[in-house]
Amino acid sequence: MGMNVGSGSSDEPEVMMEINTTPLIDVMLVLLIMLIITIPAQLHTVNLDMPVSTPPTKKIDPVVIKIDVDASSVINWNGKPITGRADLEAKLKEASAIQPQPELHIRSHAKAKYESVALVMASAQRLGLNKLGIVGSEQFVN
């Protein structure tokens, strides 16, 4: 571990071949600090445009048409007897024009002919009425 003091033979100082990096590091640190200060603070939030909720629409109760077939196979439309097939189809055609489509609740007596019930269901389907329901079928369990 020695120290180079010089050659001792000449009075001129030796030329230094290394660069002094201390001022460069100081300038870099100042620039880095200025850069950090001038950058705007990053927000960690995401801005979303959320849709405005609308209140739910009121549920409209469907129109219910009650078709009863009694023991003597007479078809009743909301409690009123229908005279024939043409009258039944006219009433079903009127019902198919109603929007939204009404529900048909078909109730038949246990002693009613199947032909009368099938006539009502076939006519309703042919005229475009799709909301059919058979009501009171618990009487056929036994």
The stretch 86-106 carries a mean pLDDT of 93
120 belongs to a structural domain: yes
50 belongs to a structural domain: no
pLDDT > 60? residue 8 = no
The percentage of the chain sitting over the pLDDT mark of 90, rounded to a whole number, equals 48
Instruction: Provide CB contacts within 8 A for 59, sequence distance 6+.
Output: none
In this prediction, residue 27 has a pLDDT band, given cuts at 50, 70 and 90, of very high
Find the CATH number of the domain harbouring 131.
3.30.420.270
8 belongs to a structural domain: no
94 belongs to a structural domain: yes
- Give pairs for 69-76: CB < 8 Å, separation 24+: 69/106, 69/107, 69/108, 69/109, 69/112, 69/116, 69/117, 69/120, 70/109, 70/112, 71/109, 71/110, 71/111, 71/112, 72/112, 73/112, 73/113, 73/115, 73/116, 75/116, 75/119, 75/120
What local confidence, expressed as pLDDT, does residue 5 receive?
A: 57
* pTM metric for this prediction: 0.57
Mean pLDDT computed over every residue of the chain: 86
What local confidence, expressed as pLDDT, does residue 1 receive?
A: 47
pLDDT > 80? residue 33 = yes
In this prediction, residue 9 has a pLDDT band, given cuts at 50, 70 and 90, of low
Number of domains, the chain: 1
Q: What domain range is 68 assigned to?
A: 64-140
pLDDT > 80? residue 97 = yes
